[in-house]
Structure 1
């Protein structure tokens, strides 16, 4: 009897795990085939999941000879997820079902600097987007947050979030969890961009790759043999702190890194030889470089060399199949092509260097997956009780 119950629990978990990955309704025979389970086991598992409110009938499959088959999917009321992406310029929020299927999304400029103000803005935006969704009035099952800094071992404290002017360690998780009445998980924004690209972007099917985000600053999300690397202190991928070869430069976490857009524009302001006022945006700098204007062309070449050096450093450590460039600077076609070309001369086994498939939404998509996986793990543990 105990063996039979254990088998039923295993079947229930496998069926739910499969349905949580499927974006469209499926039939019981399809579930049985995909999960390698007998039809009676699937029938019993689906019945149990229906009784728990986790699975619901959504229609009938027709169009083929014979009897129509009942279609099942994760029940709309089984739970919802909230994903938050905190950026230096923009704040993004998505509300999804337990599968990560989008129900509503919203974004707005990051209004004020500093952890306390941005946390409050994030809470307000989650409430606003949730209210506009079909899940209005519900409490999120899980909330995942993309943060621009190093997440400490406690899973709450974020360090070095300088691009939102939070220069001291700050607990992002507690105020969000308290205000939203939900468990909250945090991860670094470029780490989540890497997860997003592997889930629904250009890294699908890749086992070892890196996402290099070049915006106001620079950072990397690294996946090695299918596992996201975080390091002993959560600081894996903080490539802004790579020293120039031979340098004994002291690390200054509050300073803007040399490869980021802010430093690039600061260099433009001090560079002589402009025939017109220096560019005020990175986009303008790259346009003027493409037109052959000096010193824009030399500044862009220096930036491409810095990014190529970061790519080469990653290649020396993890030997990636592909490096994905993203961000306000990193997504520029000229930089992608030239940095990739320069990296070819700096590495033994040059990777493909490509543009992000998700663009500015990569970290948000990664946060959705993080929330979905966290909720799935909790459900699996609950069903195993």
Structure 2
């Protein structure tokens, strides 16, 4: 064996991304192919096996160099047995033995975990949490996701629900709306791209004076751009999103006590405007000994494959 290689697989609704990492978490090569969801789970698993073998062969490695394969997939699953109970992104995935099937196809150890947990592990291993053992990662996109890393490993909780950071309820009852999870007042309802867009549309419908009213459709980026240009309505929305994210982090800080918070996803690209406001709220509501850095994620779209490879290295 020339060097031990760890293969990570990030399964999306339309694309499977495969990456090869070394033992230090450096991403050496990537490959993308169609998921094949419409053809059912057997096709998806066959595609994964094919893509893994292809990336190894195409880059001149021996199959013996591969230590194992990690898989990040959205949905509910038994992490130990590797059975996916269901996944909203893959309607045909019901009680699918992903781990056992791929171990048979590949002849290598396979580990699986939730895609959000896996992306968090990637950032902790070789991204913005490099060198730290305890970090919390938030991903701000259509929803608010993330993961908790404790002593270098994903903390999953008793039933796999640990790390559902978007569903911490922080919005007061009088202001709360129902979240997609069925509860009211979740941070996801205000600090996600969906939440920011909703608040902007509400402002326009109320007749608030804002340039956002001139847009045919509103994206979260439009709200941040308007805020940076000095629009008071957009500024109010950004501050509200930051306020509840900062409060959610303050609650998490006194439970988990991480060494660092890492924030990624499309909304995080708003930059200092968002981060400075979140840090201010976090510092206000967090006991001094629990105050830590809040920093941007570094790996972007590579976090999933890097973290999936890390599942194998870290024995998960």
**Cα distance in 2, alignment partners of residues 336 and 194 from structure 1:** 18
Matched, 1:126 2:64: no
1:214-257 Cα offsets, whole Å, 9 max, x none, are 12221232233545321111211112222236659988548994
**Cα distance in 2, alignment partners of residues 83 and 157 from structure 1:** 18
Matched, 1:371 2:312: yes
Look up the match of 1:243: 169
**Cα distance in 2, alignment partners of residues 217 and 241 from structure 1:** 10
1:154-208 Cα offsets, whole Å, 9 max, x none, are 432346744x365975534345445444332112233333332333223233343
Look up the match of 1:287: 225
Matched, 1:220 2:146: yes
Q: What is the CA distance between 1:108 and its match in structure 2?
A: 5.9
**Cα distance in 2, alignment partners of residues 148 and 361 from structure 1:** 16
The change in CA–CA distance for 1:180 and 1:360 in structure 2 (over 3 A counts) is same
**Cα distance in 2, alignment partners of residues 114 and 241 from structure 1:** 33
Q: What is the CA distance between 1:97 and its match in structure 2?
A: 5.7
Look up the match of 1:66: none
Alignment partner of 2:308: what SS? helix
Deviates more, 1:283-292 or 1:148-157: 148-157
The change in CA–CA distance for 1:220 and 1:131 in structure 2 (over 3 A counts) is same
Runs of 5+ unmatched residues, structure 1? 1-53, 55-74, 378-385
Alignment partner of 2:214: what SS? coil
Q: What is the CA distance between 1:135 and its match in structure 2?
A: 2.7
Q: What is the CA distance between 1:136 and its match in structure 2?
A: 7.2
**Cα distance in 2, alignment partners of residues 148 and 291 from structure 1:** 37
Look up the match of 1:24: none
**Cα distance in 2, alignment partners of residues 252 and 168 from structure 1:** 21
Alignment partner of 1:244: what SS? coil
Look up the match of 1:317: 255
1:309–1:346 CA contact under 8 A, matched in 2: yes
Matched, 1:346 2:285: yes
Aligned residues: 299
**Cα distance in 1, alignment partners of residues 234 and 178 from structure 2:** 29
2:69–2:109 CA contact under 8 A, matched in 1: yes
Deviates more, 1:328-337 or 1:309-318: 328-337
Matched, 1:143 2:69: yes
Runs of 5+ unmatched residues, structure 2? none
2:17–2:32 CA contact under 8 A, matched in 1: yes
**Cα distance in 1, alignment partners of residues 194 and 47 from structure 2:** 24
Q: What is the CA distance between 1:139 and its match in structure 2?
A: 9.2
How does the TM-score come out when normalised to structure 2? 0.76
**Cα distance in 2, alignment partners of residues 246 and 266 from structure 1:** 17
How does the TM-score come out when normalised to structure 1? 0.64
Corresponding residue to 1:261 among 181, 190, 193: 193
The change in CA–CA distance for 1:205 and 1:115 in structure 2 (over 3 A counts) is farther
**Cα distance in 2, alignment partners of residues 113 and 337 from structure 1:** 43
1:275-310 Cα offsets, whole Å, 9 max, x none, are 311554333332222112354333322221232122
The change in CA–CA distance for 1:263 and 1:88 in structure 2 (over 3 A counts) is farther
Alignment partner of 1:275: what SS? helix
**Cα distance in 2, alignment partners of residues 190 and 212 from structure 1:** 9
**Cα distance in 2, alignment partners of residues 183 and 211 from structure 1:** 27
**Cα distance in 2, alignment partners of residues 227 and 243 from structure 1:** 25
Q: How does 1:1-385 map to 2 (within 5 A)?
A: 54=1, 75=2, 80-87=5-12, 91-96=16-21, 102-107=27-32, 116=41, 122-123=48-49, 125-135=51-61, 140-158=66-84, 161-162=87-88, 164=89, 170-171=95-96, 172-244=98-170, 253=181, 257-258=188-189, 259-272=191-204, 273=208, 274-277=212-215, 279-293=217-231, 295-333=233-271, 334-349=273-288, 350-374=291-315
The structure whose RCO (Cα within 8 Å, separation 6+) is larger is 2
Q: Which has the larger radius of gyration?
A: 1
RMSD: 3.7
1:268–1:278 CA contact under 8 A, matched in 2: no
**Cα distance in 2, alignment partners of residues 361 and 161 from structure 1:** 22
**Cα distance in 1, alignment partners of residues 193 and 45 from structure 2:** 25
